[in-house]
Structure 1
Amino acid sequence: MGSSPQLGLPAPDFTLPGGVLTGEDFERHDYTLAGARGRAVVLAFYPGDNTAVCTKQLCSYSSGMEAFGELDAEVWGISPQGVDSHESFARAHGLRMPLLADTGRETARAYGVAAPGIGVRRAVFLIGPDGVLRWKHVALLGATYQSLDKLTEQLSGIKSA
């Protein structure tokens, strides 16, 4: 596992393929962190589609999309599975945030969350509208995740700073 980016410094940029469920359509395109400047971005790294804890985590975040929107923030889920797997996962659970495919785990490595055996460590990074890393949580064990309330609390602090 590499080193995690430092708070207060620009977050590592990346471009990943992904898609988002919009109504009945799963809209696929590339997502670039630099292209999201002007809005806060929540990067939620998770080990795998359709696993118990990941499903619970992403369903929680998906149900809170209005709260994130009120804070002018986007939520992107990132895991090593491909876009086809993400589409199936999003459709099965009605997930409303973009799911990005980091199949080579380059982005996970850049954020210090690539892990032997499990692939990707569960982690959340909050990137300010200026592209600077403002808050992060990297789980030692993958059985827990940061709550919607915790993330919106942290985002409120970023917005008012």
Structure 2
Amino acid sequence: MALQKGDKIPNFTSIDVDGNTFNSKEYIGKKAVVIYFYPKDDTKVCTDQACSFRDNYEAFKELGAEVIGVSSDSVASHQKFAKKYKLPFILLSDSDKKLRKLFGVPSDLLGLIPGRVTYVADKSGVLQLVFNSMSGKIHIEKALEIVKRM
């Protein structure tokens, strides 16, 4: 069952870009979070999306929100991607696709491409936005708009 607006984000763990264990309890329920799932590191639309989040990262931080990117790429791939584009936010490796399943992120293009969905939760961990679109840059605008209203 896919998470929807009004749902509380369940606790989860994953591996971050530095190979450390990320525990959602450190963020969710303590500050606003923007969690975005994307198909693949270093591809055109995914890079544009990541760079847009990077370019707006300070605005999210000033509003008290943390940005977290998630794809099924390996930690090594995330390290190269983050370094190449100077990405300041958290990247999580979901190589076993547990987070995709937990959030209920759908696949696109007949199930061949992992979906691109952005989730925005308030300080209580309750989802205020679930935005599903293969167009990368729109996600940043939608997420920032919601965070500003919270």
Q: Same fold (TM over 0.5)?
A: yes
User: What is the match of residue 15 of structure 2?
Assistant: 17
Superposed CA offset, 1:101-160 (max 9, x none):
000111101111142321x20010001111111111012xx24443433321111122xx
* Distance in structure 1 (CA, Å) of the matches to 2:139 and 2:117: 12
Aligned equivalents of 1:89, 1:65: Cα separation in 2: 16
Find the counterpart in structure 1 of residue 92 from structure 2.
Answer: 100
> In structure 2, what residue type is equivalent to 1:77?
G
2:149 aligned to 137, 153, 157, which one?
157
What is the CA RMSD across the aligned residues, in angstroms? 1.5
The 8 Å contact of residues 32 and 121 in structure 2, kept in 1 or not, is answered as yes
* Residues 24-83 of structure 1: CA deviation (Å, up to 9, x unaligned): xxx442222222031111001000000000000000101111100111000000000011
Report sequence identity in percent.
Answer: 32
Q: What is the total number of aligned residue pairs between the two structures?
A: 146
The corresponding residue for 2:127 is 133
Q: 2:52·2:137 contact (CA, 8 Å) conserved in 1? A: no
- Which runs of 5 or more structure 2 residues have no equivalent in the other structure? none
Structure 1: runs of 5 or more not aligned: 20-26
* 8 A Cα contact 2:120 2:129, kept in partner: yes
Paired residues of 1:5 and 1:12 also in contact (CA < 8 A):
no
Give the equivalent residue in structure 2 for 1:54: 46
Residue type of the alignment partner of 1:84: A
